[in-house]
Amino acid sequence: MKALVGLLAASVLMPALLAAPAAALSTAPHAAPAGPVFAWVPPGGYPDRFPYGQCTWWVAYNRRVTWGGNAGDWLSNARAQGLMTATIPSLGGIAVYEPGNGYSTYGHVAVVIATAAGSYTVSEMNYLGWGRVDTRTVAWPDPQVEGFIPLSGDGG
């Protein structure tokens, strides 16, 4: 009987015990897997409260982000704080992608690192896999982009 009670307690408590360290690790400070994308980014990136490995973490590492929320909420959350938003990409801007259509159900964000006629290039995390940083050139206009949060005058 004691063995049965012990087994039952272990099966109930074990998932919580295993999940707690993983959650603590994902929000703990991490070194960036790549250097900042712009010279104006401070050493170690901007202070960032987003979970490491997610697209929001990488963008907030490279841009001063004062709002919260899932990636798909960033455009409206930034706008609610009085930040300007745009419909075209610009250097240093944050691209906000709609949920679904190949992106997470939470949306996706990336930093615009270059623009050209008919395309723009982003640096992003978690597009190719958790915690992976990549650079991708996207055809413009892009029907999957919700909008952009341009760089403010303060470099962040």
User: What residue ranges do the domains of the chain occupy?
Assistant: 31-149
Q: Are 94 and 112 in contact (CB under 8 A)?
A: yes
Return mean pLDDT, the chain: 83
Q: What local confidence, expressed as pLDDT, does residue 156 receive?
A: 54
Q: Which CATH class is domain 31-149?
A: alpha beta
What confidence tens digit (pLDDT) does each residue in 83-118 have? 999 999 999 999 999 998 889 999 999 999 999 999
DSSP-based three-state secondary structure for 61: helix
| Beta bridge pairs of residue 136 | 122
Q: What is the number of other CB atoms lying within 10 angstroms of the CB of residue 134?
A: 14
